[in-house]
């Protein structure tokens, strides 16, 4: 027997692009927080906290947000259609309303069984329902053949970047701070991330001069800039763009022939101002100046994970393509077909999200009440957290505007920066690690999203209920500042 | 306003690797069959058939295979946990058994809400349950930390190939015929497919001399061959490998330092012989010759889509890593974390699959009856189809051995080959297209899986119920042969 010479794979010979990818939302801090959680669950004591608060990721139902009753009732029936043979029991003993049964029957007619693969781009009737929703939302027609169901928005982003990036010169404009899915996916594809800074002084809005200078610098460096990512409302920043800002981005995209990737998964998480879709803005520009914008390609993404739905674990989402070349769409279809189809229950949940009970329907009142309750509760939690930040020395944070996050700036003493360097960490990482160790609260350092050189931040969700955890952050911060002052 | 110069993306400037990828299972024939299906559904007449039979893809529940009752009852409860407040109704009026309620409660304790993201590698308790199953199946220990839940096996393959392939010289040995997921994924990664032919004369078993000569030729061409894919039981061929063949492959992998990717999704679809897992065979070799096989890396994949479960639409699956470097596993964890987690309901279904009702438990009898019923029905359909092929001129097909497919050889007249060339198709594509047009039966040409130069095949599932469709194939074939004789 010859010598095997050890394992074939080691961290130095695997795909270097996988190794280069960074994904802080689920990085070292998240792993450590899960270890703490397991430690507590196993009944161990000795930590300075009795509960881990995962404020690192927008995962509402992990933090006790209740699912919408109508959605889950329908899903229970499509999982076990035999229940529909007991209408009396459902209606009179289990609190199901007639519209729940109707919707479940309709979905079953359309999907057959949720255990069967659907068409790779999604169940046709669900795509039609999404198109109808988009027409209602935007006031412009939408076609089911332009809609692609996906396993959450993440998988949609993966698809689109795979098709758009042709080689190692391809570049994509990505906002900084950003959700790290974009940089991680571009690393995997060995394509170029062309960062453009959002303007913290304008509540993290887009600044066209900044975008332009990033674009110019990238082109000068030989980058074939192909698309611009806009996250609206912003992640991690929560900002909603004005109609004017959106039109400016579209105009920029038109002039420079950039595909627009509009990540609009927080479209219902808006506390200040109003959500305006890129689709609507683009169609308005097309109407105002016929012919001028017809070649501006837009992909808009949405998801069941956010909003008042919060069904992350179901992995449902979709994207709509606007003004895309049919031959390119055929390649996108082929790409998604390799993974067969997105989860069919997740597809059904997308249908329920875009087509909830309407006024006058039996399930409407409860739906409205649950939806509004979640919205108000999120707004209240955001305000409480924001208020706490206002009391904290060296912490600055704009008014909560939307999404599920706050992204405060923190000014840390030089001694803290020194201690961080001694540990081989950036100061914001160091701060977040100490916060986790002291309080069990897991947040993500700003460096995980990108931040302006010399500035420090962290991102926290405002999903956790109660105020105790907020108090523990305030207390930790004071002690931290005192220690390193 | 400057001219936009048209759209940014066209089929000639998008990612060339996406364009190069081929995925025949959902290709032109499948798209055409869906058009026929829609045409019939809309009430149109005029086709020579009144029903489309999708025999192109292993999608049991689309072809009326019933889901296992226990599984779906549990899923209905975890989707709508409020139902658990009505135990009386569930037990006395809806036919749920106590073990259904218990399992649902246990799963809910473990996952929290199925609407929450889980750990990126899957819910810990579900990984533990899979490890227990693997121990029972193989007689060797398994660790939950080596198990990664995935959205079907496809997504697991995607993960593994992404990590293993480092650059455009990386090559993976892939059986021919193969499931086109492998070639398509390698195209996307711009890595090299190193095909090795299976031996049709030995019921599509592996032939080590063939593997060796493919390997040697690839190495001579500068390919860095890193892994070997084995599909066992085979897809599209249905063959189960003997223990001896499996050990020979492991020995080959050891000698040439190849990672083994064992696609074992058909492990319960075995009519002839016995399924032996690569894990068991590897551990046995490790026990017999201590030290010699400890560096042989194995990834074994499984899924809820096949077997008697057939829950394709739920996108559940997992892979187990054996003898992998922990640092490489950390990179795999990071990779899967970018897509957050696999569908949580799909994860629960994996748990149910590997941990079904046991003898003596209230749901056992029905479970057993349903499971055996599906197994026998599949065996019966396979036999009927095989018998029909035996009557068809120029068609040769080995005894059905397992999986969900038959893969007959077809000898077509020269005039048919000429007609195919005139249409720009390969003869098997031409045959399958005519079959679809005449009968509504959609199968996949052998060229979609790869076949020995000069030989022609098609792959058909034997999932469709009834015998009418089989009769229509026989009739079509006779007419086709007569026409082109």
Query: What is the 3-class SS of A231-269, one letter each residue?
Result: ECCCCCCCCCCCHHHHHHHHHHHHHHCCEEEEECCCCCC
B9 with A328: Cβ contact below 8 A: yes
Question: Is A346–B343 a contact, with Cβ atoms under 8 angstroms apart?
Answer: yes
Tell if the CB–CB gap between B67 and A8 is shorter than 8 Å.
Answer: no
pLDDT (tens digit per residue) in A145-171: 999 999 999 999 999 999 999 999 999
User: C-alpha B452: how far from its chain's center?
Assistant: 22
Q: Are strands A192-197 and A170-176 parallel, antiparallel or unpaired?
A: parallel
User: How many DSSP H helices and E strands does chain B contain?
Assistant: 17, 14
* Nearest C-alpha neighbor of A94 from the set B91, B89, B98, B97: B89
Is residue A38's pLDDT more than 90? no
Q: Do A310 and B115 touch (CB under 8 A)?
A: yes
- A73-77, A313-317, B104-108, B396-400: range with lowest mean pLDDT: B396-400
- Average pLDDT estimate for A115-138: 96
* B112 vs A27, A61, A297: nearest CB: A61
**How would residue A200 be classed by pLDDT, with cut points 50, 70 and 90?**
confident
- Which pLDDT value is given to residue A3? 39
Put simply, the answer to whether A312 touches B116 (Cβ < 8 Å) is: yes
User: What is the reported pLDDT for B22?
Assistant: 86
Q: For residue B3, what pLDDT is reported? A: 39
Quote the pLDDT of residue B186.
96
Predicted TM-score (pTM) of the model is 0.95
CB atoms within 10 A of CB A299: 28
The residue among B447, B436, B442 whose CA lies nearest residue B476 is B436
> CB-CB: which of B8, B11, B75 is closest to A226?
B8
Nearest residue in chain B measured CA to CA from A155: B339
Percent of chain A clearing pLDDT 90 (strictly above): 80
**Are the C-beta atoms of residues B279 and B264 closer than 8 Å to each other?**
no
CB contact under 8 A, B115 and A67: yes
Distance CA A460, CA B190 (A): 38
Asked if residue B98 lies in contact with residue B91, where contact means CB atoms within 8 angstroms, the answer is: yes
The pair of structure tokens assigned to A454 is 């010399």
Which chain A residues are Cβ-neighbours of B285 within 8 angstroms? Answer: none
Distance, in angstroms, between B26 CA and closest chain A CA? 6
Q: Is A369 in CB contact (< 8 Å) with chain B?
A: no
Beta strands A224-231 and A170-176, pairing class: parallel
Q: Residue B11 and residue B94: Cα distance in Å, rounded?
A: 54
Chain A residues with beta carbon closer than 8 angstroms to that of B152? 339-340
CB-nearest partner of B338 from A16, A184, A314: A184
Residue A449, pLDDT score: 83
Residues 94-133 of A with CB under 8 A from B: 94-95, 111-120, 124
Chain A residues whose CB is inside 8 A of the B315 CB are 151, 315, 340-344
Question: Is B13 an 8 Å CB contact of chain A?
Answer: yes
For chain B, say whether A85 makes contact (Cβ under 8 Å).
no
**Residues in chain B closer than 8 A to A19 (CB atoms):** 331
Q: Which stretch of A81-85, A316-320, A338-342 has the lowest confidence by average pLDDT?
A: A338-342
Exposed, middle or buried: residue B65 (CB in 10 Å: 0-12, 13-18, 19+)?
Answer: buried
Tell me, yes or no, if B342 comes closer than 8 A to chain A by beta carbon: yes
Distances (CA, A) of B354 to B265, B270, B318, B350, B408: 13, 17, 11, 6, 33
Is the separation of the CB atoms in B231 and B362 below 8 Å?
A: no
CB contact under 8 A, B328 and A14: yes
The continuous run of DSSP H or E covering A37 comes out as helix A28-41
Which residues of chain A neighbour B337 with C-beta distances below 8 Å? 23, 25-26
Sheet holding B405-406, edge to edge: B405-406, B458-461, B444-445
CA distance B37 to A118: 13
Q: Cα distance from A216 to chain B (closest Cα, Å)?
A: 17
User: Are B174 and B234 contacting, i.e. CB atoms less than 8 angstroms apart?
Assistant: no
pLDDT digits (tens, 9 = 90+) for A399-422: 888 889 999 999 999 999 999 999
Q: Is B450 left (phi over 0), alpha (psi -120 to 50) or beta?
A: left
Report B:164-183 residues touching A (Cβ under 8 A): 164-167, 181
Residue A1, pLDDT > 50, answer no
What pLDDT band is residue A5 in, cutting at 50, 70 and 90?
low
B203-234: string of b/e by CB count within 10 Å (b at 16+)? bbbbbeebbeebbeebeeeebbbbbbbbbbbb
Nearest-Cα distance to chain B for A480, in Å, is 30
> What tens-digit pLDDT sequence spans chain B (485 residues)?
443 468 999 999 999 999 999 887 667 888 899 889 889 988 888 999 999 999 988 899 988 899 999 999 999 999 999 999 999 999 999 999 999 999 999 999 999 999 999 999 999 999 999 999 999 999 999 999 999 999 999 999 999 999 999 999 999 999 988 888 999 999 999 999 999 999 888 878 889 999 999 999 999 999 999 999 999 988 777 778 999 999 999 999 999 999 999 999 999 999 988 899 999 999 999 999 999 999 999 999 999 999 999 999 999 999 999 999 999 999 999 999 998 899 999 999 999 999 999 999 999 999 999 999 999 999 999 999 999 999 999 999 988 888 899 999 999 999 999 999 999 999 999 999 999 999 999 999 998 888 888 889 999 999 998 888 999 999 999 999 999 98
Q: Which of A63-67, A131-135, A269-273, A380-384: highest mean pLDDT?
A: A131-135
* φ/ψ (deg, to 5) at A416: -70, -40
Tell me, yes or no, if B345 comes closer than 8 A to chain A by beta carbon: yes
Question: Is B325 an 8 Å CB contact of chain A?
Answer: yes
Contact across the interface for A9 and B57, Cβ inside 8 Å = no
Residue A225 has pLDDT above 80, yes or no: yes
Question: Do A18 and B72 lie within an 8 Å CB cutoff?
Answer: no
Which residues in chain A have Cβ-Cβ distances shorter than 8 Å to B69? 82
Q: Do B62 and A112 touch (CB under 8 A)?
A: yes
Which own/partner pairs from A29-33 qualify as long-range (CB within 8 Å, at least 24 positions apart)? A29/A56, A29/A429, A29/A432, A29/A433, A29/A436, A29/A442, A29/A443, A29/A444, A29/A445, A30/A54, A30/A56, A30/A57, A30/A442, A32/A433, A32/A436, A32/A442, A33/A436, A33/A440, A33/A442
User: In A56-180, which ranges are continuous DSSP H helix?
Assistant: 69-79, 87-92, 98-111, 124-138, 152-164
Q: Is B208 on the interface with A (CB under 8 A)?
A: no
Cβ distance B137 to B332 under 8 Å? no
* Residue at token pair 């875009």: A354
Structure tokens that stand for B346 in this block = 């799909």
Distance from CA of B254 to the nearest CA of A (A): 6
């Amino acid at each position: 027997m010859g010598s095997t010479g050890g394992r074939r794979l080691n961290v130095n010979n695997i795909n270097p692009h996988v190794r280069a990818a960074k994904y802080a939302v689920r990085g070292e801090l998240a792993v450590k927080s899960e270890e703490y959680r397991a430690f507590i669950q196993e009944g161990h004591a000795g930590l300075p906290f009795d509960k881990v608060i995962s404020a690192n990721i927008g995962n509402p139902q992990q933090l006790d947000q209740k699912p919408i009753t109508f959605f889950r009732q329908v899903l229970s029936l499509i999982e076990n259609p035999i229940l529909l043979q007991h209408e009396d029991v459902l209606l009179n003993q289990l609190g199901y309303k007639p519209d729940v049964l109707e919707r479940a029957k309709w979905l079953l007619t359309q999907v057959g069984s949720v255990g069967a693969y659907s068409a790779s781009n999604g169940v046709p009737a669900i795509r039609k329902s999404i198109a109808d929703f988009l027409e209602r939302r935007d006031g412009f027609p939408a076609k089911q053949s332009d809609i692609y169901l996906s396993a959450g928005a993440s998988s949609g982003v993966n698809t689109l970047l795979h098709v758009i990036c042709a080689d190692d010169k391809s570049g994509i404009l990505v906002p900084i701070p950003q959700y790290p899915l974009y940089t991680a996916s571009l690393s995997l594809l060995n394509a170029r991330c062309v960062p453009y800074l959002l303007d913290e002084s304008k509540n993290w809005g887009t600044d066209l001069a900044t975008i332009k200078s990033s674009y110019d610098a990238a082109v000068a460096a030989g980058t074939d800039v192909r698309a611009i990512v806009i996250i609206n409302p912003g992640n991690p920043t929560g900002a909603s763009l004005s109609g004017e800002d959106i039109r400016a981005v579209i105009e920029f995209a038109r002039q420079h022939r950039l595909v627009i990737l509009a990540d609009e998964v927080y479209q219902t998480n808006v506390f200040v101002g109003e959500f305006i879709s890129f689709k609507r803005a683009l169609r308005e520009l097309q109407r105002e100046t016929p012919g001028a914008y017809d070649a501006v390609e837009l992909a808009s993404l949405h998801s069941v994970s956010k909003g008042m739905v919060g069904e992350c674990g179901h992995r449902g989402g979709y994207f709509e393509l606007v003004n895309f070349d049919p031959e390119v769409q055929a390649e996108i279809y082929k790409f998604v077909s390799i993974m067969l189809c997105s989860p069919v229950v997740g597809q059904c949940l997308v249908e329920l999200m875009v087509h909830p009970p309407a006024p006058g329907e039996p399930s409407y009142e409860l739906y409205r009440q649950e939806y509004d309750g979640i919205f108000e509760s999120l707004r209240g939690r955001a305000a409480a957290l924001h208020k706490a930040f206002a009391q904290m020395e060296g912490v600055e944070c704009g008014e909560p505007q939307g999404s599920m996050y706050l992204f405060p700036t923190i000014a840390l003493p030089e001694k803290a920066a020194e201690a961080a360097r001694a540990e081989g960490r950036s100061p914001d990482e160091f701060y977040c690690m100490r916060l986790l160790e002291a309080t069990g609260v897991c947040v993500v350092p700003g460096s995980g999203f990108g931040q302006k050189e010399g500035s420090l931040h962290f991102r926290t969700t405002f999903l956790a209920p109660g105020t105790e955890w907020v108090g523990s952050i305030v207390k930790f911060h004071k002690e931290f500042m005192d220690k390193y002052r």
